[in-house]
Structure 1
Amino acid sequence: MKISAIELYEYDLTYAHGTYAMSKGRSARQQPSNLVRVVTDDGIEGWGEAATLSGNYLPVFAAGTRAALRELAPLLIGQDPRRTSHLQRLMSSVLMGQANAKNAFDVACWDIFGKSVGLPIAELIGGVLSAELPIFEAVPLSSVEDSIAYVQKRSAEGILRYQIKIGDDPARDAARARAIAEAFPEIFFFVDANAGYTLLEAQVAMRALDDTGMFFEQPCRELADCALLRRTGRLPMIMDETVLNHADLYRAKYEVSAAAVNIKLGRLGGITPTVALRNAAQDLGMHFAIEDVWGGDVTSAAVSHVAASSSPEHLLHTSFFNDWTNEHVAGYQPRMKSGRGAAPTGPGLGITIDRAMIGAPVASFS
């Protein structure tokens, strides 16, 4: 089996709940996304997605991802899509980093692999261990009143796990997080600064929230600052943006004493490296979330397969980004129901792309 053609598509994903606001003024109402269609010489097609959150969230931005997709696509023509580790090495031999673009091609190749053998991706990466996935959503930075209204609305749909965005003024952040949590004592909350705090700010916020027991996600940009914070604070910590490889994972556990890690396909480069890091986290006895940087139906499907094949004892939760966004290129599948999700059971990703929704490709390679 060989890759005979690749098509690139572009579209915008608008946030379904108004403005998605994070620390230090980072916000957006829509984000650019990219779909790749990889076709083999025997007619099997696979789909992948690469979406960006913003250029000041991670060292990646929309135009850079689109340029990287065009750089990598010709390299994959003539390759066997089932040799995903080989393709990872091949892409890295041309571009260092650019994990977000590599993610789209890696997912598309796993989609092809699954379709070629008539199995969902989850079965190819260990089998389904978590048939019902706990789903979480983020509460963007806003007023206490707006935040409480948001949780009321989404909890009526069954969501019972929320990530409260913080990372600006630590005293106000802590007061807001406490007010939200006190308004919903039956709901699980944790806070996420998205690396927005200095060490001093993080110390103030953690001290103010000390008695809540909330998990504290990625308070500072530097892993070393997070390690220093852990020595003076008692809240369990989740590492996210600073974990890119196995070395970072070990440092997160043994230097930061992190209770958990957030593993994102687009930050690592696809299903192949994500499964490797997830398995290492499981071996280390760490808890983790499985998600992505941003995305729609295709991203949600890819994430669901990795989450479903994860040990339920270690899986904190996952996210279906197609619940966060308005555009649905695969019929709004997979779908969250009553706060739980599941991986599609069809071959590959298990979803069908509506070509009428995405228009003509912006670039083609053969």
Structure 2
Amino acid sequence: MTAMKISAIELYEYDLTYSHGTYVMSKGRSAKQQPSNLVRVITDSGIEGWGEAATLSGNYLPVFAGSTRAALRELAPLLIGQDPRRSTHLQRLMASVLMGQANAKNAFDVACWDIFGKSVDLPIAALIGGVLSTDLPIFEAVPLSSTEESLDYVSKRSAQGIMRYQIKIGDDPVNDAARARAIVKAFPDIFFFVDANAGYTLLEAQIAMRALEDMNLYVEQPCRDLADCAMLRKISGLPIVLDEAILTHADLYRAKYEVNAAAVNIKLGRLGGITPAVAMRNTAQDLGMHFCIEDVWGGDVTAAAVSHVAASAFPENLMHTSFFNDWTNEHVAGYQPRTRNGRGAAPTGPGLGITVDRSLLGAPVASFS
């Protein structure tokens, strides 16, 4: 390949407002908007790439908006002069300076994959296994709210073609079970699962899973600790999917062989980008596990990155994915990719396959060269 180096990096900040009012998770975690960051990585050949790092809240994962923005500024100078196509090298380089801070690393990793794809005139999906699916099942989350509000949400979104929903639980286990039961009963032809976002104590999770025992549901991340999730297998046969607790391949093995988890949620921002997400996806496939591919939060750039990882996954192992730009009002790349009738596909253009409109962003908040 012709030599290429990163010559400049620009950082942009903007807010993503939730398009359905207030996004509510377990234990009172809620927000109407979330801070997001865009990175523009420019090469000496004139090719540029875009990546995004959005945060859900400071009490969802051990990261918050301020730490992500500080980490972006810490990492950017390190990448100047590097070849953006050496993804594994760049991951090692970033790890040598900052432990963790996967959300910030995610933005740079995605931007570099965008450059790689553009440099060879191929979509990212073609570089990480090839496109195996052009018809991705899309899910949306039903925020924690009253039963009536939840029923109204599903009714409105199902009219737009969404047929898969993650019901947020994790507060009061008895009320959570009653609400989930009412939602499932009202929409017998829709696929539902429940997600506590690690909000339950072990006792609360035991009560909830016993109350849900007779329902055809799986439960995502009932408790934060893997050992607690493993103990729940003694009291319930409901399938468990793990999310927040899975950061490494060792965690993935523990999920299968200690928790007997049916599946795992792979999020680019939790792991550090496309590079580690694809590695974990491939390991999960080898282990015969199912998975969801998504991210912590984001807009058009995040949706595009997620779509490429999902489109190149084994279709038989992919449960579903999410396009976060369906959840948010702001669109920096023309609302692409976009869900249609509850299904999605990765863009077919080179790199991410989308075009960011810089006129919508204003001036960069920081620049490095």
Amino acid at match of 1:360: A
Q: Give the one of 65, 68, 71 matched to 2:71.
A: 68
Residue identity in the other structure for 1:47: W
Q: Structure 2: which 5+ residue stretches go unaligned?
A: none
| Equivalent-residue separation in structure 2 for 1:52 and 1:186 (angstroms) | 33
State the partner residue of 1:205: 208
Q: 266, 271, 274: which one pairs with 1:271?
A: 274
Query: Is the partner of 2:214 in helix, strand or coil?
Result: helix
Unaligned runs of 5+ in 1: none
Residue 288 of structure 1 aligns to a residue whose secondary structure is: strand
Question: How far apart, CA to CA, are the structure 1 residues paired with 2:216 and 2:279?
Answer: 30
Query: For each residue in 1:66-90, what CA deviation from the matched residue of structure 2 results, as whole angstroms up to 9, or x when unmatched?
Result: 0000000000000000000000000
Q: Of 204, 224, 228, which residue of structure 2 is paired with 1:225?
A: 228
Asked if 1:129 is matched to 2:103, the reply is no
**How large is the Cα RMSD of the aligned pairs?**
0.3
Matches of 1:313 and 1:221 in 2, distance apart?
A: 28
SS in 1 for 2:320: strand
* Residue 303 (1) aligns with residue 306 (2): yes
Equivalent-residue separation in structure 2 for 1:360 and 1:183 (angstroms)? 48
Aligned partners of 2:319 and 2:360: how far apart in 1? 33
Letter in 2 for 1:38: V
| 1:43 paired residue number | 46
Offset of residue 317 of structure 1 = 0.1
Q: Which residue identity does 2:134 align to in structure 1?
A: A
Q: What TM-score, normalized to structure 1?
A: 1.00
Could you report, residue by residue, the CA deviation over 1:240-284 in whole angstroms, capped at 9, with x for unpaired residues? 000001000000000000000000000000000000000000000
Matches within 5 A, 1:1-366: 1-366=4-369
Could you tell me how far apart the structure 1 residues matched to 2:159 and 2:116 are?
38
Alignment partners' CA distance in 2, 1:213 and 1:202 = 17
**Distance in 2 separating the partners of 1:48 and 1:221:** 28
Letter aligned with residue 73 of structure 1: A
**For the Cα contact (< 8 Å) 1:170–1:202, is it kept in 2?**
yes
Per the TM alignment, residue 131 of structure 1 is displaced from its structure 2 partner at its CA by: 1.1
For 1:348 and 1:125, locate their aligned partners in 2 and report how far apart those are by CA, in whole Å: 11
Look up the equivalent residue of 1:37 and give its one-letter code: R
Letter in 1 for 2:70: A
Amino acid at match of 1:200: L
**Partners in 2 of 1:204 and 1:97 — Cα distance?**
34
Determine helix, strand or coil for the equivalent of 1:212. Answer: coil
CA distance in 2, matches of 1:267, 1:231: 29
Q: Residue 211 of structure 1 aligns to a residue in which SS?
A: coil
Per-residue CA shift, 1:164-220, capped at 9, x if unaligned? 000000000000000000000000000000000011100100000101020100000
